[in-house]
Structure 1
Amino acid sequence: MNDAPRLDRQVCFALYSASRAATAVYRPVLEDLGLTYPQYLVMLVLWESEPTGVKELGAELGLDSGTLSPLLKRLEGMGLVERRRSGEDERRVAVHLTPAGRALSSKASAIPQRLAEAAGLSDVELEQLRGTLERLTAALHSSR
């Protein structure tokens, strides 16, 4: 039994644990904004570049339409976004921020710093970690 895989040696478990811990740090801050973590990710993309097509939004976040559509419907119901069909191509739907959605951006601006403080890592360490995770993600996607 000595050659059996050990949980504490698994990269996948370390990633899973870190992700859950990070989400737990975000949770109370996001609750104050009335957002879940997946909704926050959608808003991050839109604060950076809006309007954004639904298809492009899904690609950016790695979400299929079955997952993204309910998120957008909920955000729309909260008055933060609105979906509009393109006048040029009715099949294309773009997501736009509402004034309330734009205003939420300033309230969310301190969230990344909160995670950085909770992580106890320097800015350089966090940047290195993010770079390593991006390379890992790209490599894993290309190996499929």
Structure 2
Amino acid sequence: MDARDAVLGLWRTLSDRDWDGLAAYLTDDCIYVDMPVGPTAAARGPADIVKRLQVGLLDLAGYENHDGLLVAEGDAVLYEHSETWTFRSGEVVELPFVSVHRVRDGKVALWKDYWDFGTVVNAAPADWLEKLGSADTSWMFDATGLI
């Protein structure tokens, strides 16, 4: 699988919230970083990356990724896209993203998401931040110096 296909497959699978399928697109040592939070709160490896993504996405009533510009050069893939998050209480937010990926042997080995945390906070239910504060953080990995 080439780098472009690996990234598009990852995002289609994430849009379906197919957690088992998502893990298949990640290398065993893949690092995932939500850049607004920073490298000290990264996740490493498929199981922990899935746990990390579930913190934000599992309890949503709806989640959808919208394709956008994808630029691939060698093992690097930049993907400008957006996500629609629908909270169980009815709030909806469209969140613009730029994701940077490095692909190795047909799987994503590095995944960095750039987005505006304030966009979610301004649209989320009042208790959303409180719920984040009590989420499982067993996945947390300090990727400082590795990304």
TM-score (norm 2): 0.27
In terms of fraction of residues, the more strand-rich structure is 2
Between structure 1 and structure 2, the one with the greater Rg is 1
- Choose between structure 1 and 2 for higher RCO, CA contacts under 8 A separated by at least 6 residues: 2
